[in-house]
Amino acid sequence: MKIYTKTGDKGETGLYGGKRVRKDNLRVQAYGEIDETNAAIGIARSYIIEGSSGSREILNFIDSVLETVQNKLFSVGATLAGTDDPNYLVKDSDLEYLERCIDHMDEQVQPIKAFILPYGTDLCARLHLARTVARRAERSIVALSAQETVDPNILAYANRLSDFLFTLARFANKAQGIPDTLWKKDFMPTIMPQSQTKLDAKQQQEIHSHVEGKQNGAKIVAALNGKNGTP
């Protein structure tokens, strides 16, 4: 079976049941962003496999719960795409699972007394990115629910997922011994000393070489295209 079907060449796609809709349809956008969330979570999980340092017990826990969520997101996407198969429904137990995970992790990290920056370890940063993608998916699901019927448990799951990923990002920092970075509302940018703002001869030469290299590259491209001189 070939990967490409050519059935979407005119900007349409098929939902469960065979209905054809435009690819910018809100329903397609919603399950597409759920898929994007799933991919972002996969990127985070890949870092654990690559051997991130820290408590292996905690990292294995993070990987395990993320795998559970990834599988559930496929079910969410299928339901948003129109399937009425009860095996794909988001159950109350799925919401309770996220809540239990959040409570378990929240007990082990420092209480939040201020906004925190989405920053820390590589794994933490990837989880924060997944969180923002999940929140975008939630906004699309909310928009869809204003026009069509959407299972309330899907709305609740999308909302809870962002909280879960936020807490998981903080938990990842803890696993690797990195504290949260607090938002400083009165933060002042570092001012570089005047002596450091001047380029020395070596730095000037490096910039000159870079510019000259780009110009030579442009000449080569123009020659390959049968042109004379720079574009």
Please give the residue range of the domain that contains residue 46: 12-175
Residue 42 · residue 123 · CB < 8 Å: no
Query: Per residue in 40-97, pLDDT tens?
Result: 999 999 988 665 566 778 888 999 999 999 999 999 999 998 878 899 999 999 999 9
Quote the CA–CA distance of 118 and 116 in Å, as a whole number.
7
What pLDDT shows up at residue 187? 73
Question: Are 148 and 202 in a shared domain?
Answer: no
Question: Are 212 and 118 in a shared domain?
Answer: no
Which of the four pLDDT bands, split at 50, 70 and 90, describes residue 123? very high
61: amino acid identity, one letter? F
Mean residue pLDDT of the chain comes to: 81
How many domains are there within the chain?
2
Which of 4-18, 54-68, 125-139, 183-197 comes out lowest in average pLDDT? 4-18
Question: Are 152 and 218 in a shared domain?
Answer: no
Residue 76 · residue 41 · CB < 8 Å: no
**CA atoms lying within 13 Å on the CB side of residue 75:** 18
Question: Are 103 and 131 in a shared domain?
Answer: yes
Tokens 């999980």 -> residue: 45
Which ranges of the chain would DSSP assign to H, the alpha helix? 26-49, 56-80, 92-106, 122-145, 152-175, 194-197, 201-224
Quote the CA–CA distance of 135 and 31 in Å, as a whole number.
13
Question: Are 137 and 164 in a shared domain?
Answer: yes
Residue 48 · residue 64 · CB < 8 Å: no
Question: Are 20 and 97 in a shared domain?
Answer: yes
Question: Are 212 and 168 in a shared domain?
Answer: no
More confident residue, 61 or 191: 61
Residue 36 · residue 139 · CB < 8 Å: no
**Based on the number of CB atoms within 10 Å of its own CB, is 216 exposed (0-12), middle (13-18) or buried (19 or more)?**
exposed
Question: Are 213 and 157 in a shared domain?
Answer: no
pTM: 0.74
Which of the four pLDDT bands, split at 50, 70 and 90, describes residue 141? very high
Residue 75 pairs with which residues in a beta bridge? none
User: Does residue 185 lie in a domain region?
Assistant: no
User: Does residue 85 lie in a domain region?
Assistant: yes
